[in-house]
Amino acid sequence: MNQQQAYQFTIPQNVHFGLGSLKKLPDFLKDNASDHVFLISDHGLESIGLVKKIKDIVIDAGIKVSEYLEVKPNPTVAIVDEAVALYKKSGATSIIALGGGSPMDVAKAVGVLAVYGGKITEYEGAHKVPGPIIPIIAIPTTAGTGSEVTAFSVITDESRNYKLTVFSYELLPKYALLDPKLIMTAPASIAAACGIDALIHAMEAYVSRDSSPFSDAMAEKAMELIGANIRRFVANRKDEEAACAMMAGSNFAGIAFAWARLGNVHAMSHPVSAFFGVPHGVANSILLPVIAQYNALADQGRYEKIYNYISVEKEPVNNFKPEMLVREIRKLNEDLGIPSCLSEVGVTEDKIPQMAEDAMKSGNIAANPRSSTLKDIINLYHQAL
């Protein structure tokens, strides 16, 4: 948004992208110089044989492997504590995070606590991690959160129904291995929710007050790749070209928002997931059209660009109006089978005041292009209900 914006960026030391690139894992392991890795993943990925596949590669490379597979969507403080205890007992010296955002975020939290101790709640907020964490090799299986290149770990504190964010550049994984073959096993509903989440990362970063020419470049390419391929990918996850575009797009979107932050969609979706267990991508997708409408007032010409990236209409548009983007987003949600309102996913009105209070605590509120008061957020939740 701001051509004068000063900016900085660091991306993980080594990002590798390619169909079938999982076979490069031994090179990463060698470079990582750790003779015992701790694999963090979930039972969903175990059930499709992926966990075993990774373990076999590690063992064949002559490296010892221990595992923690109890990660659940919207992972909790208790899951992190359990994983840290096992990590410490194992004697491992590095971590492989295999999965969507949930295993990757748990891995980052384990990486912090294994070095500096305490509870993950003590590191909540910005820049509280004192120094380097356990080296992480991130292998995403969704496209996706972009967590393999972000400085965030999002963990649910069940004691207060709150999704806390640890934000520190120390959390950036040392390696990211992006093999689009790994996202092809996702059911359509997960591909849709994760795909829209990635698109929202790019959109929110693109209109963020903290955007820079660097984050814009990443966000625009992400929107181009995801916009042109999300429908195709959800329709057929075995479509290699679409899978490659989604995986790269999700990664670029992650890089964009790691540096430009997000906005009201993410600020408001975290409480929805914390109170009602709604999957992250689903909560975001439902909120998106309402927030896009709200932010239209602050648009500085970027809505038309976003519209052109995601629209199925190929003819150039005359007299573009921001409402056209809002309509297009609703159509995308509908095409991909996303519920149209929060009440459809079990959200109830009585929690709106508390959810709004919690949303206001998010750093993403300050990055949203249009300023928001508590009252605005309450209104927006009512509209999305």
- State which residue, 67 or 197, has the beta carbon closest to Zn ion: 197
Nearer to Zn ion by Cβ, of 54 and 282: the residue is 282
Tokens representing 241?
């070209």
The residues that touch ligand NAD, with contacts defined as CB under 6 A, are 42, 44-45, 48, 73-74, 99-103, 105, 141-142, 144-147, 150, 152-154, 182-183, 185-186, 190, 194, 197, 280-281
Nearest Cα residue to 311 out of 215, 320, 383: 320
- The site partner of 333 among ligand NAD, Zn ion, none (C-beta below 5 to 8 Å per kind) is none
Q: Which residue's CB is nearer to ligand NAD, number 71 or number 329?
A: 71
Closer to ligand NAD by CB, 62 or 346: give it. Answer: 346
Look at the block and give the residue holding tokens 């159509």: 331
One-letter amino acid for residue 347 of the chain = V
**Min CB(10)–ligand NAD separation in Å:** 15
Q: How far apart are CB 189 and ligand NAD at their closest, in Å?
A: 9
185, interface contact from ligand NAD, Zn ion, none, CB < 5-8 Å by kind = ligand NAD
- Minimal distance, residue 169 CB to ligand NAD, in Å: 12
C-alpha 384: how far from chain center: 21
Q: How far is the CB of 163 from ligand NAD (least distance, A)?
A: 6
Q: How far is the CB of 341 from ligand NAD (least distance, A)?
A: 20
Task: Tell the smallest beta-carbon distance from residue 102 to Zn ion (Å).
Answer: 12
Supply 212's token pair.
């820079």
Q: Whole-angstrom Cα distance, residue 259 to residue 362? A: 16
C-beta of 104 vs 290, nearer to ligand NAD: 104
- The crossing angle, in degrees rounded to 10, of helices 374-384 and 264-276 is 60
| HEC secondary structure over 69-120 | CECCCCCEHHHHHHHHHHHHHHCCCEEEEEECHHHHHHHHHHHHHHHHCCCH
Cβ distance 93 to 35 under 8 Å? yes
Question: Rounded to the nearest 5°, which phi and psi values hold at 164?
Answer: -90, 150
| Residue 73 interacting partner from Zn ion, ligand NAD, none (CB closer than 5 to 8 Å by kind) | ligand NAD
Residue pair 220/150 in contact (Cβ under 8 Å)? The answer is no
Which of Zn ion, ligand NAD, none does 141 bind, CB closer than 5 to 8 A by kind? ligand NAD
* Distance (Å, whole) CA 206 – CA 199: 10
Q: Please identify, using beta-carbon distances, which residue of 63 and 192 lies nearer to ligand NAD.
A: 192
Q: Which listed option, Zn ion, ligand NAD, none, makes contact with residue 152 (CB within 5 to 8 Å by class)?
A: ligand NAD
* Residue among 308 and 368 whose Cβ is closer to ligand NAD: 368
Q: Are 266 and 365 in contact (CB under 8 A)?
A: no
The minimum distance between CB 253 and ligand NAD, in angstroms, equals 9
Nearer CB in complex with Zn ion: 179/197: 197
Q: Tell me how far apart the alpha carbons of residues 112 and 123 are, in angstroms, rounded to a whole number.
A: 9
The interface partner of residue 135, options being Zn ion, ligand NAD, none and the CB cut-off 5 to 8 Å by kind, is: none
- Write down the residue that tokens 């903290």 correspond to: 210
Closest approach, Cβ 145 to Zn ion, in A, equals 6
Look up residue 226 and give its amino acid. I
d(CA 259, CA 210): 8
- 195-214 residues near Zn ion, rule: CB under 5 A: 197
Is the sign of the CA dihedral 202, 203, 205, 211 positive or negative? Answer: positive
Residue 102 binds what, of ligand NAD, Zn ion, none (CB under 5 to 8 Å, by partner type)?
ligand NAD
CB of 237 to ligand NAD, least distance (A): 9
Closer CB to Zn ion, residue 83 or residue 194? 194
Binding mask 168-197 for Zn ion (x = CB under 5 A): -----------------------------x
Q: Which long-range contacts (CB under 8 A, 24 or more apart) does 41-44 make?
A: 41/67, 41/68, 41/69, 41/71, 41/97, 41/98, 41/99, 41/103, 42/69, 42/70, 42/71, 42/72, 42/99, 42/102, 42/103, 43/69, 43/70, 44/99
42 binds, among ligand NAD, Zn ion, none (CB under 5 to 8 A by kind): ligand NAD
Binding site for Zn ion (CB under 5 A): 197
